[in-house]
């Protein structure tokens, strides 16, 4: 008997992250920099950090921001907050003061866990800070009174107007995303994921970390370089997740260092479109076509090419289990499922505008559904740049560049790039107050914005169209 979609969604969403992600076990589940962590050790660490957070006054439902680079301590902090019943405000460690001020001001966390490099930014904002290198520990607290609908995280995402909005992801959303990945990519306890993605990002967290913990398998975390990834893939790795810019660099490396990767079970690519030429290059050099998938911050990974069957360049495949996809006005991709969030943090107007009357989320992406039922993304209604897998809202960059004395007007756009997918480019009308020097404009932006948001090129124009 076929499971109806409502029952399937309830099954995928059932439970909470602490229960699902922290089962006991003596096997190694995470490796990083020569350190190995077993499931029992990870569970104990999360419980003790939860106790420490409780001792600091963190209560069920409180928000705790996490502002640090990838590390095992980051994972302990994240899981500790979940075990304490809190809600993690995820922050890109590349954010500078202006970006951190907006997110921390909007989310109003009770506490910020930050690494040494970023703690001063938080301190300058007058917020309470705990070092991720020295997490609080305390007696194991009772399980918090949470369920699948309790908020687990707030992820900030850019839209077409205004500053980034906080998408509230509940426990059920994350569990449906992770359990769906296990099913569609045949993820098992025998798998070893080579994890080189940022943990604050949905791809690295909801798929990479959660999927590993749910599958019973393990992951080795490495900072991305082709050499490090290839070392791990040739020493037991069976899975790799990446964005197109990573695959571009892997292919460049493999052209010079041909490597037998036939033992790697699956390569998954997402967070930005994979150009057909790069798809074909990957197929040749990796020994298999990457599985391209489609996702959004508000809904996680919702569509994927099949593990078995054809993987088609330029198409992102079929819906995840429990997900419905249809096209709305202007062929906008609309989605519904247990993976999809229910609203933005303290923003009822944006929430109402984001959904259709019958509960489908408006992605802002333009799609096409083929005769075989596969989805292709043809463009974006939203004025968003995707560069190296990260979202950049042009107006945010323009607001910064407009404060430079040499800039009279500026328009920021994404220009197609083999390396980045899209390259942030600033088209500037000079003010006449001094020379317009490309390197100075880029340096000016780098002092105020995360590096991926900064223009790679500055083009002087007489007027904006």
The per-residue pLDDT for 394 is 80
Q: Is 3.40.50.980 the CATH classification of the domain at 17-146?
A: yes
Q: Which run of H or E residues covers position 10?
A: helix 5-13
Query: What are the backbone dihedrals phi and psi of residue 203, each rounded to the nearest 5 degrees, phi first?
Result: -65, -45
Tokens of 251: 């292919």
In the CATH hierarchy, which top-level class contains the domain 175-382?
Answer: alpha beta
Query: How far is residue 410's CA from residue 391's CA, in Å, rounded to a whole number?
Result: 19
Residue 23 is classified by DSSP as -
**pLDDT tens for each residue of the chain, 465 residues long:** 567 999 999 999 999 999 999 999 999 999 999 999 999 999 999 999 999 999 999 999 999 999 999 999 999 999 999 999 999 999 999 999 999 999 999 999 999 999 999 999 999 999 999 999 999 999 999 999 999 999 999 999 865 456 799 999 999 999 999 999 999 999 999 999 999 999 999 999 999 999 999 999 999 999 999 999 999 999 999 999 999 999 999 999 999 999 999 999 999 999 888 888 789 999 999 999 999 999 999 999 999 999 998 899 889 999 999 999 999 998 899 999 999 999 999 999 999 999 999 999 999 988 899 999 999 987 667 677 889 999 887 878 888 898 899 998 899 999 999 989 999 999 999 988 889 999 999 999 999 999 999 999 999 999 887
Task: Look at the block and give the residue holding tokens 């968003």.
Answer: 384
3-state secondary structure 222-251: CCCCHHHHHHHHCCCCCEEEECHHHHHHHH
386-460 folds as GMP Synthetase; Chain A, domain 3 (3.30.300)
Q: Which run of H or E residues covers position 107?
A: helix 97-107
Task: Look at the block and give the residue holding tokens 């964005």.
Answer: 243
Whether 386-460 and 175-382 are alike in CATH topology: the answer is no
Q: What is the three-class DSSP state of 437?
A: coil
Provide the sign of the torsion angle of the four alpha carbons 250, 255, 258, 262, taken in this order: positive
Q: What is the three-class DSSP state of 22?
A: coil
Q: How many CB atoms lie within 10 A of CB 358?
A: 7
CB 97 within 8 A of CB 157: no
Tokens of 304: 């994927």
Task: Look at the block and give the residue holding tokens 């306890």.
Answer: 189
Q: What is the three-class DSSP state of 245?
A: helix
Residue 279 Cα to chain centre, angstroms: 22
Contacts of 349 (CB under 8 A, 6+ apart): none
Contacts of 9 (CB under 8 A, 6+ apart): 176, 322, 337, 338
pTM of the predicted protein model:
0.85
Going by C-alpha positions, the residue among 240, 176, 183, 260 that lies closest to residue 215 is 183
Task: Look at the block and give the residue holding tokens 């992250």.
Answer: 17
- Torsion, CA 148, CA 152, CA 158, CA 163, rounded to 10: 120
Q: Which run of H or E residues covers position 442?
A: helix 438-446
Q: How many CB atoms lie within 10 A of CB 57?
A: 10
Q: Which sequence spans correspond to the domains of the chain?
A: 17-146, 175-382, 386-460
Q: Which run of H or E residues covers position 78?
A: helix 72-83
Query: How far is residue 359's CA from residue 293's CA, in Å, rounded to a whole number?
Result: 23
Tokens of 245: 């810019």
Query: How far is residue 171's CA from residue 163's CA, in Å, rounded to a whole number?
Result: 25
């Amino acid at each position: 008997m076929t499971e109806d979609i409502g029952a399937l969604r309830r099954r995928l969403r059932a439970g909470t992250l602490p229960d699902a992600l922290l089962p006991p076990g003596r096997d190694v589940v995470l490796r990083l920099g020569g350190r190995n962590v077993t499931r029992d050790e990870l569970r104990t660490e999360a419980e003790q950090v939860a106790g420490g957070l409780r001792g600091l006054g963190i209560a069920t439902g409180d928000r705790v921001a996490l502002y640090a680079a990838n590390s095992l301590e980051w994972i302990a902090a994240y899981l500790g907050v979940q075990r304490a019943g809190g809600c993690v405000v995820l922050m890109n460690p590349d954010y500078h003061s202006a970006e951190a001020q907006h997110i921390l001001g909007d989310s109003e966390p009770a506490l910020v866990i930050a690494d040494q490099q970023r703690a001063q930014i938080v301190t300058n904002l007058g917020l309470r800070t705990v070092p991720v290198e020295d997490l609080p520990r305390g007696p194991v607290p009772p399980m918090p009174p949470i369920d699948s609908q309790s908020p687990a995280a707030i992820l900030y995402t850019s839209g077409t107007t205004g500053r980034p909005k906080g998408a509230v992801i509940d426990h059920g959303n994350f569990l449906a995303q992770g359990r769906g990945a296990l099913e569609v990519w045949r993820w098992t306890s025998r798998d070893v994921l080579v994890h080189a993605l940022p943990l604050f990002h949905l791809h690295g967290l909801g798929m990479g970390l959660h999927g590993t913990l749910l599958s019973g398998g393990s992951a080795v975390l490495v900072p991305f370089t082709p050499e490090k990834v290839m070392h791990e893939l040739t020493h037991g790795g069976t899975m790799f997740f990446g964005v197109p810019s990573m695959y571009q660099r892997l292919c460049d490396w493999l052209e010079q260092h041909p490597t037998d990767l036939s033992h790697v079970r699956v390569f998954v690519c997402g967070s930005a479109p994979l150009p057909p030429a790069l798809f074909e290059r990957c197929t040749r050099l990796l020994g298999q076509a990457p599985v391209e998938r489609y996702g959004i911050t508000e809904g996680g990974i919702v569509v994927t090419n099949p593990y078995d069957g054809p993987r088609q360049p330029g198409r992102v495949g079929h819906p995840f289990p429990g997900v419905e996809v249809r096209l709305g006005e202007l062929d906008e991709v609309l989605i519904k499922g247990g993976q999809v969030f229910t609203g933005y943090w303290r923003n009822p107007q944006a929430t109402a505008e984001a959904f259709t009357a019958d509960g489908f989320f408006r992605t802002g992406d333009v799609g096409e559904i083929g005769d075989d039922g596969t989805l292709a993304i043809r463009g974006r209604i939203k004025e968003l740049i995707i560069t190296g897998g990260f979202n950049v809202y042009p107006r945010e960059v323009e607001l910064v560049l407009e404060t430079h004395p040499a800039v009279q007007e500026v328009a920021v756009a994404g220009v197609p790039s083999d390396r980045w997918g899209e390259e942030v480019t600033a088209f500037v009308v000079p003010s006449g107050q001094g020379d317009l020097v490309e390197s100075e404009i880029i340096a000016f932006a780098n002092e105020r914005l995360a590096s991926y948001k900064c223009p790679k090129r500055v083009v002087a124009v007489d007027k904006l169209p």
